[in-house]
Amino acid sequence: MTLDVFAAVHREFFSYADFRYGWDMLCRRLPHARWHLAYTDDLPVWLREQPERVADCDGEVILITAPHILLSRNGLEGLRRTLHDHPDDIAIPMALAQANLPFALDYSTVRGLDRALEQDQHRHLKPYLAAGDESKVCMMRSSTLQSLLANQWSGALPANTWVSPQAVAHDYSGYHDSDRAEVVPHLPHGVKRLLDIGGGCGSFAALAKRELLCEAHVFEQHPAAAALARQRVDRVWEGEFPGVLLSQMPQFDCVTALDVIEHIENTEACLEAIAALLLPQGHLVASLPNLGHWSVVLDLLEGYWDYAPVGIASRSHLRFFTRSTICDLFAGQGWQVEDIAAISVPMPENMRRSLVALGGAIPLQIDAGSLDTYQYIIRARRP
């Protein structure tokens, strides 16, 4: 039986290295498929305009309405099982935040996602009818798709849609457009002009502008994101940081680098460039992912280190940090760290008990705080 995959994408999507890696992962999770790329915002309309392609399908069809999807390793198999039991219906993967699960589905790494699905309590869950669920991935027979399109289907999931618990999809489409509201309380007081390096679409800088009543700038290398940021902030500097634009820029009371430093090969040069942009007594506020998070530690204990399109193990990360190496980096560059705060994604209690017991048996000085910390937020200045 053939598998046809119709995916709606934007050309700008492939300009992001992280997203290209995520796309490659998605293609590997759907092997031997015939891929049809639709450069459109409305996949059902595009499909109705491609009757020959749709008529050529004779088997299974997967529709992907946005390409920012990480599918669990056995996701295709799970969808197929659900469709086998309900051949005239539609199957969708379960979202990470599925509300009606009888337990928490913790996820931070690729292996972590698969590990959660291997739990006995998850493995025995049965497909259930969707009730208000949304999904950017759905699977059906080609005959079902042809029938839907003949009835002017809008793309909304019909009542005969089944959620497959053995297939999980993580949507990371908001990666470049988060407002990072958790960072705002760590910004210094009295900021008049702020620069957000790697500011994406400008969501965080726009929030800071509203909350602090300050002038907000964004430094962003991706043209599509920079174009969106220009609609939200006072000034956008488009290019790679650090670069030639620095000589043209004013100085700032506060520079933010949120999930940026780990992407830069020469972190020391990056910090020096930021220092040159700061007014006297100005502050840098940075966030850095913690390699000591339990999700990574468990992966390493099992012999896994799988890159991902986003997160701690992002494919584009060039440097990796724990709390101690963060402090060493800043101190070595002459920065005074005023505050370092932990963003917590706690370890599941059953895993914590097992790991603490292992540490006591070896023995190891286990840093429970580090295990729970997904990311650190640092506020620092140059004396």
In the DSSP assignment, the letter for residue 75 is: H
CB 277 within 8 A of CB 252: yes
Overall average pLDDT of the 123-137 stretch: 78
Overall average pLDDT of the 308-333 stretch: 94
Q: What confidence tens digit (pLDDT) does each residue in 23-53 have? A: 999 999 999 999 999 999 999 999 999 999 9
Same CATH topology for 2-171 and 181-381: the answer is no
Q: What confidence tens digit (pLDDT) does each residue in 161-189 have? A: 999 988 888 888 877 778 999 999 999 99
**pTM listed for this prediction:** 0.87
Residue 136's H or E segment, with its range, is none
Residue 210 pLDDT more than 80? Answer: yes
Which 3 state secondary structure label does DSSP give 252? strand
| CATH classification for the domain delimited by 2-171, as one of 3.10.50, 3.90.550, 1.10.10, 3.40.190 | 3.90.550
Q: What is the pLDDT of residue 99?
A: 39
Domain boundaries along the sequence of the chain:
2-171, 181-381
pLDDT band at 117 (very low <50, low <70, confident <90, very high): confident
- Helices (DSSP H) in the chain: which residue ranges? 17-29, 43-48, 51-56, 75-85, 110-117, 120-123, 142-150, 203-212, 223-229, 267-277, 294-301, 323-332, 349-361, 368-372
CATH 3.20.20.140 for domain 181-381, yes or no, is: no
Q: What is the pLDDT of residue 102?
A: 46
Rounded to whole angstroms, how far apart are CA atoms 265 and 104? 36
